[in-house]
Amino acid sequence: MTHEQTIRSAVECSGIGLHSGAPVSMRILPAASGTGIVFRRTDLDGFEIEAVSRNVARVSYATSLMKKGVLISTTEHVLSSFIGMGIDNAIVELDNLSCPSSTQRAAVCGDDSQSGHSQTEAGPAVLEDSPRV
């Protein structure tokens, strides 16, 4: 049986979009097994863009995802943090077109006060196993 990982509880942060300069809030939510990484634009009625190769719009200076003309920019830091932590499934809610620049890593990796993240000998306690269907 193969297991997938998600985060234990929601984390959120706010900041400024690196290339857009616009204020943005980001919330990362746990997701069910098989969901994958999904970006959700809360400013656009919850429009969802899956982090899959068919939705990659461009990769010059930032990794941007696009679906049906809706864009999410600078996803690379969030995605690489998920890969580094072994997270397979999560919902990333944004209220603007770009991930926040200075808080991306903090939101994903967090500290004890923000995300409940703690280290154990077995690895990050923020991860939760769910059987792959």
84, containing H or E segment? helix 76-85
Task: Note whether residue 127 is domain-resident.
Answer: no
pLDDT band at 41 (very low <50, low <70, confident <90, very high): very high
Give all strands (DSSP E) within the chain, no chain letters: 3-7, 11-16, 23-30, 37-41, 47-50, 56-58, 64-67, 70-72, 90-94, 119-120, 123-124, 127-131
Task: Note whether residue 121 is domain-resident.
Answer: no
pLDDT value of residue 50: 97
Q: 69-111, pLDDT tens digit by residue?
A: 999 999 998 999 899 999 999 999 999 999 887 644 454 555 4
- pTM given for the model: 0.78
> At 18, which amino acid appears?
L
Task: Note whether residue 76 is domain-resident.
Answer: yes
Task: Note whether residue 114 is domain-resident.
Answer: no
Task: Note whether residue 57 is domain-resident.
Answer: yes
Count up the domains in the chain and report the number: 1
Cβ count within 10 A of residue 105? 14
CATH at residue 64 = 3.30.230.20
Could you tell me the sign of the dihedral formed by the alpha carbons of 107, 110, 115, 120, in that order? Answer: positive
Enclosing domain of residue 11: 3-109
Task: Note whether residue 123 is domain-resident.
Answer: no
Q: 13-27, pLDDT tens digit by residue?
A: 889 988 788 999 999
Task: Note whether residue 66 is domain-resident.
Answer: yes
Q: Are strands 127-131 and 90-94 parallel, antiparallel or unpaired?
A: unpaired
Task: Note whether residue 129 is domain-resident.
Answer: no
> Please, what's the b/e burial string for 55-73 (b: 16 or more CB within 10 A of its CB; e: otherwise)?
bebeeeebbbbebeebebb
